[in-house]
Amino acid sequence: MVLYFVGLGLADERDITVKGLEVVKRAARVYLEAYTSILLVPKEQLEAFYERPVIVADREMVEMEADKILEGAANEDVAFLVVGDPYGATTHTDLELRALDLGIPVKTIHNASIMNAVGAAGLQLYRYGETISIVFFTETWRPDSFYDRIVANKKMGLHTLCLLDIKVKEPSLEALCRGKKIYEPPRYMSVNTAVEQLLEIEEKRGEGVCGPDARAVGVARLGADDQLIVAGTLEELRGQDFGAPLHSLILAGEMHHIELDAWERHRAAGRDA
């Protein structure tokens, strides 16, 4: 039979495609990948809409216990649900390759992801450079290697999409030191935190690509009814309330006059909020 990778889109249970819903309805098992991103509704809401039980697949299951997902997939359909599009994270390619090595056919049902929906911010998709990820700083770990990619994008006049860190079912370091697994509460990086970290890195690296006056766009809950898109300088966005997760940040490169018009409109919207 088939292992299906089914994209769920960005917001809620209704964003699944008709084709994807047909697969979910007939699959013997339905897994929900629950660590590279999240929907804005709980699992129970998916189950009510799909009329099927949904098994949450956390990082440990997908990366360390993939055999549980693949078990029996040669004889029955299995659906693996992914927020956004299935190939937004390399983990899913790894699972696909494992399935193919076992002779299990794989089919993909695509959906909207942050990588294309971010076009709603008004900056043209073909003018984006390499996407970066910004992770939470700790007292002892403040990575800035992605700064070089921002610099490279900026030199070519390209925009940079910044994907912001989420921490779901992360073990406590203190508990690990004691040989126990105790998980910390989920955390989702805000635009505000991302801006604070970028400004700290800019102060250290000093190439002028993400200073206080750099133009940017913050987005929150993209695809939902209450999505928020606010443009401004990084200094302006630092104080903006973006509300509940998930958030992303765009660092603007050179802007065509239409892009600039869109940026100004979103900037005005932020001031009126």
- Binding residues for S-adenosyl-L-methionine, as ranges, are 10, 85, 88, 113-114, 164, 222, 247
Burial-class residue 41 by CB neighbours within 10 Å (0-12, 13-18, 19+).
Answer: middle
Q: Are the C-beta atoms of residues 193 and 247 closer than 8 Å to each other?
A: no
Residue 192's nearest CA partner among 249, 149, 116, 257 is 249
- Binding site: residue ranges? 10, 85, 88, 113-114, 164, 222, 247
Residue 159's nearest CA partner among 131, 132, 129 is 129
- Other CB atoms within 10 A of residue 138 CB: 9
What does DSSP say about strands 132-134 and 106-109: parallel, antiparallel, or unpaired?
unpaired
Angstrom distances, CA of residue 168 to CA of 33, 58, 212, 253: 11, 8, 30, 32
Output the six-digit token pair for 218.
């913050």
